[in-house]
Amino acid sequence: MSEDHEKSPEIISPVNPLPPVVVALFLIIIGIEATFTLATRGIIGGPAGIGWRLDAMQSYAFSGPIFDWMWNNGQWPTEHLMRFVSYLFIHVSFTHALFVCVMLLALGKMVGEVFSGFATLSVFVVSGAVGALAYAVLLDDQAPLVGGFPGVYGLIGAFTYLLWLRLGELGAQQVRAFTLIGFLMGIQLVFGLLFGVQNDWLADVFGFATGFLLSFVVSPGGFQRLREMVQRD
């Protein structure tokens, strides 16, 4: 039998697998939300399970007043510092978590296929932390900040960076790369006018800006590209 016949044919998947870090983030978010949803319906946790979501918000949501207390007293306990990240995994409802997961899978796949796993995770987490910081510093909002949208908007920023680079290589107008964020902000404005404005949009904007700027450093060849840009200027 010839060597060609001895080799097994390669199986090429028509769908590229999701980056592991994106899958991990998705499983954490949907796992937490599934627990809260089942508990709210009384399927798990008994009578106490109904309050699990509220308890989680009290312990893990980002809070402007708590940040003000830490800043004014110069005390930074770990249980409150972790709120800069933990709030990304707590949502107000199943629908809220579902929208976050859909956008996480879509944007995470596009970014994660170019960025390393660590870089993709860094964009999500750092964007969320900066979004929370902006929420606390620039606003005087007593409402807690919850949900993964600031981190997802960071991934949108990273995707915009990739598109911005691609358009530059093609000699096209790079401002077109910001069409997606403009569209999303427009939708938020419409919903705000119809159903009332919520200040968490500020965290989303700063999450996007952080993801875009951080990509200059964590993207493949980012340091070299950034140095060339500085030298060129």
CATH code, domain carrying 227: 1.20.1540.10
Give the residue-averaged pLDDT of 146-161.
96
Alpha carbons 76 and 80: distance in angstroms, whole number: 7
Q: Which residue has the higher pLDDT, 85 or 183?
A: 85
Q: Give the list of residues 6+ apart from residue 26 with CB closer than 8 angstroms, or none.
A: 18, 101, 104, 105, 108
Q: Is residue 78 part of a domain?
A: yes
Inside any domain, residue 190: yes
Query: What is the value of pTM for the model shown?
Result: 0.87
Looking at the domain assignment, is residue 8 inside a domain? no
pLDDT, the chain, mean:
87
Distance of CA 162 to the CA centre of its chain: 16
The domain of 42 spans 17-232
pLDDT of residue 110: 94
The Cα 212–Cα 200 span in angstroms is 19
CA angle 115, 24, 63 (to 5 degrees): 95
3: in domain: no
Query: In this structure, is residue 150 part of a structural domain?
Result: yes
Q: How many CA atoms lie within 13 A of 2 on its CB side?
A: 2
How many structural domains is the chain composed of?
1
Residue 152 φ/ψ, nearest 5 degrees: -65, -40
